[in-house]
Chain A
Amino acid sequence: MSPLLRRLNARLRPAERALDPVIHALVSTLVAEAAGAGVPIDERALATAAQAMRGRIGLMPRFLGLPMAGATLFFDASGVVAGGRPFRLLPDEQRRKVVELWRKAPISFFQDFLEFYGKMGIFVYFSEVAPEGAEEDA
């Protein structure tokens, strides 16, 4: 990585913590959708999944991690347009609407964005709530 990008990276790392509440809210919405209405969400597993997702962004190649972090903040801001408040502050029903808007948007990156959080967030969440189910080849 070039020295300029390395310095920029170092400055952005603390800023990535601003992603935490957005990621938590988004993973919560996607997990609830995947588990089905009425299934209680395990808050400890959700917190672990949200934390793990920020870690995954850190593990991505930086040319993907930086846009993903930016898109996460943009996604949060899109809640203002759709529901009058940032996504992380919206009630559950309106969060679902914002997710649905992104899912149906004719921009493939929006679908990729939701797929990343959907697939990996759900995988980590259910690895936490059903660890015995994840065990294999021990």
Chain B
Amino acid sequence: MKRVVHDCEILVIGSGPGGATTAALLAEAGHDVLLVEEGGHHLPDSAPAFSSLETEQKYRNGGLTPAFGKTKVTYVEGRCVGGGSEINAALAHPPVPGTLTDWAQRFQIREFGPEAMEPWFDAVLREASVTSQPGPLDPASLLIKEGAEAMGWASAEVQRFWSYPAQGPRRGVRQSMTVTLVPRFLAAGGHLLPRTRVRSLTIKGGEARSALGTTVTETGRQPIEIHFQKVFLCGGPTQSPLILRRSGIRGKVGDGLRLHPMVRVAARFDREVNDPAAGVPVQQVVQFKPELTLGCSQAALPHLMMWLGGEVEDREAKLADWKKIALFYVLVTGRGVGRVRNLPGFDEAFTAYPCDDADMDALGDGLHKLGRMLFAAGAVELFNPVAGRPSLTRVEDVESLRTGLPHGKVTVSAIHLFATCPMGEDPARAVVDSFGKLHGARNVWLNDASILPECTGVNPQLTLMALARRNVARFLG
């Protein structure tokens, strides 16, 4: 089939928060920018959020990708224009105090402390609509707030990338990349090529010259070749390292995978606590951040059914009253270090993450805390997250979770991945320099969550967007 050829000055691969920020700022600075995205271009209302249709439309691999290890961790990634910003909870969480300073010192990252980064966080917050939910807290968030107060722990509402127009939809509009930075990029004259997958770069003598891949057109899948002067890889923590490795850049590329392991648990109360119309719950226990976060999840009936674990007595009667059940989570900063690789003969990422005893113990400790808090907030039953075990109906029962969770009996998931191409000045430890430029290459930059050196402990979108702005500013001089 005939190869489609494109020419541009700057190629940006991937349109998530890092890629969309990069592309918009470069286009607005007058550069000729081509933004390619492997997934399709779907607007936020093209599918109900967190629905089955949305997982087919906007998630990589239809929503389920396992990272292999002693306990398998199933993670999700966006694969659409806007990337993760189209499918996440849009929480705008600043970094936990101390994180940036710690990273700057340990990973030799220049101009990266809180003072150096403050203007870039300010710029993101100035331009984006980051706001609290109007009106009273949703019922599940209220349970977190009341439970935390009863335990003497700090909790807080996390603001979101969201907009609540006075005359608009009651629940407001997610401020994802498809309604913010992608339109800005297009208005500035940028070119967007969705359904286009870059497989590798042609790199000679430290200089990347072209990208090879495929694009889906009305007539089918066509080979594509893109010539450029400079390239930004923003495909995320699994795809950016894969492209580099396929291009012959290996070393530590793909080695340092970090993530936030997470376990969900459903709890039943003696009153209605679940209002799907209220949107994503926003209250979190912040007492133990960044090592541990306790929060509540979207809990429409399909989600509840997915996560009702353990042996449940009188299942019918309880499900008939499902609005008395809400969904909560424990999210920890993973201790393990995984990797992303190409399997010979296959195009997709093979991901391994050692979710070992330390992670399972941390999750067990988190579940123990969460269980005590939920009983303090009035829970009458915790559906056991350990397969085959009975529900927990007394606060004393949660002690069984504290001693650690059995491998293979608990569903562990992850929504934030990091650090497969970490930044830093030492090429022996870091893949890119302090500003995202690939060590050993003249015209290749990375600007996504792969360059963060470790877990953030919180939703990384705000940090990523600030980092992307900073790196583009350095690029522009």
Interface of A toward B, CB cutoff 8 Å: 1-2, 4-5, 34-39, 52, 55-56, 59-64, 103, 108, 111-112, 115-116, 119-120, 122-128, 130-131, 133-138
B276 touches A119 (CB 8 A): no
Give the chain A neighbours of B213 by CB distance below 8 A. none
Q: Total A-B pairs in contact (CB under 8 Å)?
A: 129
B1, CB-defined interface residue at 8 Å: no
A136 touches B345 (CB 8 A): no
Give Cα A1 to B308, complex, Å: 38
B51, CB-defined interface residue at 8 Å: yes
Give Cα A83 to B206, complex, Å: 63
Pick from A5, A55, A62, A131: contact of B62, CB under 8 Å: A55
Give Cα A112 to B407, complex, Å: 12
Q: How far is the CB of B390 from chain A (nearest CB, A)?
A: 16
Give the chain A neighbours of B72 by CB distance below 8 A. 108, 112
B301 touches A134 (CB 8 A): yes
Pick from B62, B172, B302, B316: contact of A133, CB under 8 Å: B302
Among the stretches B101-109, B147-155, B347-355, the one at the interface with A is: B347-355
Closest Cβ neighbor of B298 among chain A residues: A136
B300 touches A136 (CB 8 A): yes
Give Cα A33 to B49, complex, Å: 27
Q: How far is the CB of A29 from chain B (nearest CB, A)?
A: 15
Interface of B toward A, CB cutoff 8 Å: 44-45, 48-53, 56, 61-66, 72, 169, 171-172, 174, 276, 279-280, 298, 300-303, 305-306, 308, 315-316, 319, 343-350, 387-388, 408, 411
Give the chain B neighbours of A122 by CB distance below 8 A. 302, 305-306
Give Cα A1 to B151, complex, Å: 54
Q: How far is the CB of A15 from chain B (nearest CB, A)?
A: 19
Given A1-B345, A137-B174, A35-B64 contact (CB < 8 Å): no
Given A63-B343, A123-B305, A130-B301, A135-B64 contact (CB < 8 Å): no
A126 touches B346 (CB 8 A): no
Give Cα A64 to B62, complex, Å: 13
Give the chain B neighbours of A134 by CB distance below 8 A. 48, 50-52, 276, 300-303
Closest Cβ neighbor of B52 among chain A residues: A127
Given A5-B346, A56-B62, A127-B51, A111-B300 contact (CB < 8 Å): no
Given A1-B345, A56-B64, A63-B348, A136-B48 contact (CB < 8 Å): yes
Pick from A59, A63, A131: contact of B350, CB under 8 Å: A63
Give Cα A130 to B319, complex, Å: 13
Give Cα A99 to B412, complex, Å: 22
Q: How far is the CB of B120 from chain A (nearest CB, A)?
A: 28
Q: How far is the CB of A130 from chain B (nearest CB, A)?
A: 4
B62 touches A59 (CB 8 A): yes
Give the chain A neighbours of B280 by CB distance below 8 A. 136-137
Give the chain A neighbours of B347 by CB distance below 8 A. 1, 62
A133 touches B301 (CB 8 A): yes
B346 touches A36 (CB 8 A): no
Give the chain B neighbours of A133 by CB distance below 8 A. 276, 300-302
Given A4-B345, A133-B276, A136-B279, A59-B61 contact (CB < 8 Å): yes
